[in-house]
Amino acid sequence: MMFVPHVIDGVEQESSDGASFPSVDPATRAPHASVALGSAADADRAVDAARRASDEGPWPRMGFAERGAVLHRLADLVVAHTDELALADTTDMGKPIDDARGKDVPRTAQNLRFFADHARLAHGDVLPMDTGHHAYSRFPPAGVVAAIAPWNFPLMLASWKVAPALAWGNTVVLKPAEDSPTSATVVARLALEAGMPPGVLNVLHGYGPDSAGAALTDDPRVDRITFTGESATGRVISAAAARNLVPVSLELGGKGANLVFDDADLAGAVDWSIKAVFTNAGQVCLAGSRLYVQRGVCEEFVERFVAAAGALVVGDPKVTGTQIGPLASEAHHAKVRGYLDGVERSGGKIRAGGEGEGWTVTPTVVLDAPPDAPVQREEVFGPVVTVTPFDTEAEAVRAADDTRYGLNAMVFTENLSRAHRVAGALRAGTVWVNCFFVRDLRAPFGGMGDSGVGREGGDFSREFFTEPQAVVMAIRPDDGSDVR
Ligand code: NAI
Ligand code: MG
């Protein structure tokens, strides 16, 4: 069986005590790899390597152009290793291979290139003061970044953290999710090949609580913690960060509302709404899992939506053409099934789907679930959508905002003023109008309420991954010259 090692200080290695854990392929429900199980001692070594690379190594001291060139070479290598990286994620967590190859790998390369260029081209501020001084801003690296990644987009979401951290001159300890360890080790290997110095990108495997994850977030030598995952975990990590007074960026759960007005282009709305909730089998923080449809078009929308959901290809994620693979783990499958089993008890009914072999769940449409039903309130993180009719715009906005989450929302309408009005009224970090998932990497990305703390992307990532510094200079008055 394949062994997935840590990469610490440029060396692929086992855990110091030799411990390991299995990575299970959700398609076969059997282990396919053995993974180094990091302990507190391994976390200590990883932070130590990152600390030394930050305090003494060349990486923070290189120019942006030189660092950027390494990141661009890494992006090239990521693209050249598309098959290996895509298969790693698909085998670890069951995402369709077409998505892994066609979306996750290219987006990973794009993240590396974008943040390399963004850092190289960024401006600081110069503040001409009228008191005989001037001030300017600098953006030195924060130091050592602990990046804790989830399993739903293993490669892509890890790169969303690692790329800006590295571009701004930090060193990193990346702890991938225990359900999706493999691609991170491959990327760390490729980073060395691209010319990144040892200790700059370290990968530490293991679990969260009482394991590698917690040891990492508790280490006082860490300068920044960036985390994507469940809101409950975000609270625990935030408390660890508070003990060391370390800034933390949290991208947490979501319960995206998707509002379809009766003036919408219905075919487009159906198409995007399907993608919004069934991509990656719904294991997406941005999933549009609550559909609200204006009453006049609701019946027709549901007919078309159910037909489109039923046409999605469910099957083996390693086979090209598959659109819905199994859920990522046995525990996660049990959690999603628990929500489906509770639908009728809470007053809703399953209009379509809700079946599936092994850890697969077929695309599921739930009708009539009351607003307080768990399937309406909690992040299911599976291919499950509730559909609720509404009458007025105000009612739609109220329903959309009736959640503890606030990551994203979608609006489908052909009415320009309504689009702006509703987008402005929604409490969500991102609002998509007549589209979904489209990203400009300069835009703020993050959530309100239980969906997170802070924003990343473009200048927002710079702010988090640097220690912005002000330099204020006195301009001395004339000492004999006649310049005024
Ligand atoms: P999780 O939030 O527990 O795990 C995410 C990462 O955090 C993993 O790398 C894990 O090892 C690490 N971690 C967990 N506890 C930690 C701790 N105390 N200190 C440091 N690191 C820690 O998510 P999990 O258990 O994989 O999935 C649970 C549920 O969370 C899912 O069923 C899903 O509903 C939701 N989820 C949401 C995501 C999102 O993007 N909104 C992503 C992943 C999961
Ligand atoms: Mg967990």
Asked whether residue 480 carries a pLDDT value surpassing 80, the answer given is no
What domains sit in the chain, N to C, each tagged with a CATH number? Answer: 2-252+447-470 (3.40.605.10), 257-433 (3.40.309.10)
In this prediction, residue 108 carries a pLDDT of 98
Average pLDDT, the chain: 97
Looking at ligand 1, which residue's alpha carbon is closest to its atom 43?
229
Tens digit of each residue's pLDDT (9 = 90 or more) over 376-409 = 999 999 999 999 999 999 999 999 999 999 999 9
Tens digit of each residue's pLDDT (9 = 90 or more) over 118-138 = 999 999 999 989 898 999 999
58 C-alpha to ligand 1 centroid (Å): 33
Tens digit of each residue's pLDDT (9 = 90 or more) over 16-42 = 999 999 999 999 999 999 999 999 999
Tens digit of each residue's pLDDT (9 = 90 or more) over 325-343 = 999 999 999 999 999 999 9
Distance CA 197, CA 464 (A): 23
Distance CA 366, CA 377 (A): 13
Q: Which amino acid appears at position 147 of this protein?
A: A
The atom of ligand 1 lying closest to the CA of 214 is 19
Tens digit of each residue's pLDDT (9 = 90 or more) over 168-203 = 999 999 999 999 999 999 999 999 999 999 999 999
Distance CA 458, CA 323 (A): 31
In this prediction, residue 484 carries a pLDDT of 59
233 C-alpha to ligand 1 centroid (Å): 6
Confidence band for 481, pLDDT divided at 50, 70 and 90: confident
Tens digit of each residue's pLDDT (9 = 90 or more) over 211-267 = 999 999 999 999 999 999 999 999 999 999 999 999 999 999 999 999 999 999 999
124 touches 139 (CB < 8 A)? yes
Phi-psi region of 446 (alpha: psi -120 to 50; beta: other; left: phi over 0): left
58 C-alpha to ligand 2 centroid (Å): 36
207 C-alpha to ligand 2 centroid (Å): 8
Confidence band for 483, pLDDT divided at 50, 70 and 90: low
Q: Which ligand is nearest to the CA of 407?
A: 1
Task: Tell me which of 122-126, 270-274, 278-282 is least confident.
Answer: 122-126
How confident is the model over 160-165, as a mean pLDDT?
A: 98
Indicate if ligand 1 lies below 6 Å from the C-beta of 214. yes
In this prediction, residue 192 carries a pLDDT of 98
Q: Which ligand is nearest to the CA of 378?
A: 1
Return the H-helix or E-strand segment holding 412.
strand 408-412
Give 34's strand partners.
3, 22
Confidence band for 479, pLDDT divided at 50, 70 and 90: confident
Tens digit of each residue's pLDDT (9 = 90 or more) over 30-81 = 999 999 999 999 999 999 999 999 999 999 999 999 999 999 999 999 999 9
Is 285 among the catalytic positions? Answer: yes
Asked whether residue 269 carries a pLDDT value surpassing 90, the answer given is yes
Beta strands, E only, 405-468: 405-406, 408-412, 430-433, 448-449, 452-453
- pTM to 2 decimals? 0.96
Catalytic residue of the set 178, 251, 379, 456: 251
Return phi, psi of residue 49, to 5°: -65, -45
Is 251 among the catalytic positions? Answer: yes
Distance CA 322, CA 306 (A): 18
